[in-house]
Amino acid sequence: MSAATDPVRMPAAPAAPPRHVAIIMDGNRRWAQARGLPVALGHKAGAEAARRTIEAAADQGIGWLTLFAFSSENWRRPLDEVSALTGLLRLYLRAEVASLVKEGVRLRVIGDHARFGAELARAIEAAEKATAGGTRLNLTVALSYGARDEILGAVRRTAQAVAEGRMDPAAIDEATFGGFLQTAGMPDPDLIIRTSGEQRLSNFLLWQAAYAEFVFQDTLWPDYGAAPLAEAVAAFAARERRYGARP
């Protein structure tokens, strides 16, 4: 075949970013200890990293971002650390809501956040309401969240619906059950990232993670931002997702 008749090779289209990225933010304590700082300052630096990552996710075309901020098991931590985290969360809600609205970010909080007290629960509700019109990025923050508790709660609500005659047990499928989870209406995560070198889910989105891709990064969470997020997204793009089927 002559050069004149050779087919034109078009450049490959860039891979689409994952629709939903979920991040287990880990390493605040180790970051602070490595610098001889109080743990509270590690959590403060972690909040700054969350801000950078939210901005980066929106810039990189990610539509859904879920951040695991405080697990149901974290209540076992020392009281002063829990108090510092609570105060930081309260400060973040006051300082960041206007920015979230301006940037088109819709905030949603899952988990048993009522355990933080009525004042913070009201602040969360107000933040969700203020940002409800955001369409650029759907941001979900998991607070006092545990996936096993979430699944058990969904089982109880499903059983109650059956007992009350509102649902036929034979009609219960994955989609129906998913509607009873705290993440109802959200797409399952395509990519789950954990920072700090640890490689476990830690009771995070156990149902939703069935076909997620995993990326484990050594970066401590306070050092996180656009560059490591882009690296994780690039690793995701290089993988072949088969959902249990053969190509």
Find where tokens 């089982």 sit: 155
Q: Round to whole Å and give the CA distance between 182 and 148.
A: 12
28 is catalytic: no
Q: Is the torsion defined by CA of 93, 99, 102, 106 positive or negative? A: negative
Interaxial angle between packed helices 118-130 and 79-102, expressed in degrees from 0 to 180 and rounded to the nearest 10? 20
Find where tokens 């997702």 sit: 241
Q: Is the torsion defined by CA of 241, 138, 227, 51 positive or negative? A: negative
The Cβ of residue 183 has, within 10 Å, a number of other Cβ atoms equal to 24
203 is catalytic: no
Cβ–Cβ under 8 Å, residues 193 and 24: yes
Q: Round to whole Å and give the CA distance between 95 and 44.
A: 13
Cβ–Cβ under 8 Å, residues 133 and 105: no
Catalytic residue among 6, 74, 203, 218: 74
- Catalytic residues, by residue number, are 26, 74
